[in-house]
Amino acid sequence: MKKIYAATAITAMAASLMILPAHAADNTSAASTQLSLYVPADPTYTITIPESVAISSTENTQVPITASDVTNLPDNKKISVTYASGSGVMGRLYLEGSDPTDGSDHVMMLMIQGTDGEFKMGALENQTKGMELASFTDNGTSNFVMYPCSFDYPNGTGNLQIQKGTRYSASMTYGIELADK
């Protein structure tokens, strides 16, 4: 009798092994994964800087910089317009001119104020190079301010005084980049 029970148990086990794969195949469940890919569009913008500015000899000169068509700017970034260099020696910012009557050369230092609110002398390149003049997170206009150093020395002489009849000139180069807020 033991042999019959053992044979029946072995047959039942074998039968269940055969049924298991068929049973598992009948009860499969599906799993799915949603896939996505998004790369944000590159930021675009237009910065407009005046081609020429007439520096006032009697009051601060406002220099407008305008940002327009600003799109896709990341939340943690701003458009930063900086002072890169001037036309003076070693990138310094000062006006140069020659007196037409006697040919003498004159220099007039410029003071410049950026977004930090402090005026700095353009001839001190370690203070002014890279200084932020305007920043934007949307369309708009921002002014930075310049004035001749002679304002600070009303009784100055030589290069601390604006020489009447002398046409002074200089140029500036700007840096424009996306920066962290």
Tell me the domain boundaries of the chain: 44-180
Q: Tell me how far apart the alpha carbons of residues 125 and 91 are, in angstroms, rounded to a whole number.
A: 7
CATH 2.60.40 fits 44-180, yes or no: yes
pLDDT at 59: 96
Give this prediction's pTM: 0.77
Mean pLDDT, 10 residues at a time, the chain of 181 residues? 50 50 63 93 96 96 98 96 93 93 92 95 87 98 96 87 93 97 93
pLDDT at 26: 60
